[in-house]
Amino acid sequence: MSKMNIADAALKLGVSKEAIHNRIRRGSLESVIEDGVKYVLLKEDGASTNKPSTKRTNTRVMHEADSRYYKLLEEQNERLQQKVDKLEGETKTLREQKEQILIEERIRIENIYKDKDEQLKNILNAISSKFLLNSPSAELVLESEELVEAEIESEEESNDLISLKKYLKDTKYSDKKSQKIKDRVKKVSKKDSRIVTVGKKFYINPAKFDYSDIIH
């Protein structure tokens, strides 16, 4: 046990004299007053004679608290990641369902138009075959053509077919321009699948096909 004044104690402990006074006031250093002079009591190794400091204990407590805090954060992060994975899975499923619905709807629409086209083709073939086979006379052929035209006209709205004559009238082409277009259509009608020919009448489907190479 050693006894030294404030200045010597501060020098030994490597702190300021004010720090020594603060420790004495807090009770972390023992002191005695002799002949009006305040002395600090220190062990030979420089430690104070009061009870062991609680700094190490506080450090351990803080470390344990930090460990619990980090563990809590890790658990929360894990739960959040699980929720994110679940939401991503649900989003992927919904996206796949949407794509499948769009594909099925597209196929359904294509089948509708395909069925309509096949239906019209069957009507044309059936009526043409019936009258042409039963009688080759020009009169019956003409009558069959009129019936086919009537069938086509009745199917125009649902199949988007329109007679070339009506189309030219609606577009208000001049007579000279309309005649040129008619001549072009007549010239390619036999080999152009976009054009339906019945007798001397031609039908087109502008909603489905592009005729800019013929009509311009």
Q: Is the pLDDT score of 50 beyond 60?
A: no
List the domain range (segments joined by +) for residue 201: 160-216
Whether the predicted model's global pTM rises above the 0.85 cut: no
Output the CA angle 47-51-52, nearest 5 degrees.
65
The runs of H, that is alpha helices, within 40-54 are: none
Token digits of residue 31: 């002191």
Residue 176 falls within a domain, yes or no? Answer: yes
Per-residue model confidence (pLDDT) at position 153: 54
Residue 57 falls within a domain, yes or no? Answer: no
Domain count, the chain: 2
Residue 134 falls within a domain, yes or no? Answer: no
Cα gap 6→148, rounded to integer Å = 124
Mean predicted confidence (pLDDT) in 130-141: 48
Residue 120 falls within a domain, yes or no? Answer: no
* Beta-ladder partners of 203: 163, 196
Residue 67 falls within a domain, yes or no? Answer: no
Going by pLDDT thresholds of 50, 70 and 90, the confidence category of residue 47 is low
Per-residue model confidence (pLDDT) at position 87: 92
Going by pLDDT thresholds of 50, 70 and 90, the confidence category of residue 122 is low
Are the CB atoms for 155 and 120 separated by under 8 Å? yes
What percent of the chain has a predicted confidence (pLDDT) above 70? 72
Kindly list the distances between the CA atom of residue 136 and the CA atoms of 34, 121, 128, 139, 147, in Å, as whole numbers in the listed order: 148, 21, 11, 8, 16
